[in-house]
Amino acid sequence: MTLKVSLITPDCVLWDGPVEEALLSTTTGLMGILPNHAPLLTALEIGPLRLRNENKEWLSFAVMGGFATIKDNALTLIVNQAESGTSLEKATVEENLSKAKAALEEASTPADLIEAQIAYRKAKARFEATLPKS
C-alpha cells in the first residue's frame, strides 16, 4: 500500500506520486507518515522532507515551511518554497552553510540574529537534502 504525495510550491508541483513512507519536519519535531495514517493537519518547519518511493529509494527535498494534510492515504504538502536534493550542488550548499553559520555567530542585534537564524536553518535544510538517506 502507498500514499499519494503532492508537494506543491507557489511556482510548481515539485512531486506528485506514490510513496511508501514520508518523513516531515514539523513544528513539533520529525514526523513519519505511513499508509493508513490518521487524518492530520500540521505546520511544517524549515527542514528536510524525505520520501521513500516504491523502489525503496529515498528522495530528499529542502522545505522552507508550510502546511501538510493527510487524509485517505493522500499527503498534501503546501509549502512556501522547496528544492529537490538532487538539484542542489553539494559544494555550493556546504559553502552557503558555512557562511550562514559564520553570520549567525557574528549577529549582534536582535534583528540580525533573527535573520541569521532563518538563513542558517534554510542553509542547513538544503545541506540535509543533499545527504543520502539509508
Q: What SS3 class is residue 130?
A: helix
The per-residue pLDDT for 134 is 56
Query: Cell 527535498, residue?
Result: 61
- Give the span between the Cα atoms of 99 and 89, in whole angstroms: 16
Which cell numbers hold the place of 35?
Answer: 499508509
Give me the amino acid identity at 33.
I
Q: Give the list of residues 6+ apart from residue 98 with CB closer than 8 angstroms, or none.
A: none
Q: What is the DSSP letter of 36?
A: T
Q: Which residues of the chain carry a pLDDT beneath 70?
A: 134
The per-residue pLDDT for 108 is 93
| pTM (two decimals) | 0.91
The per-residue pLDDT for 56 is 93
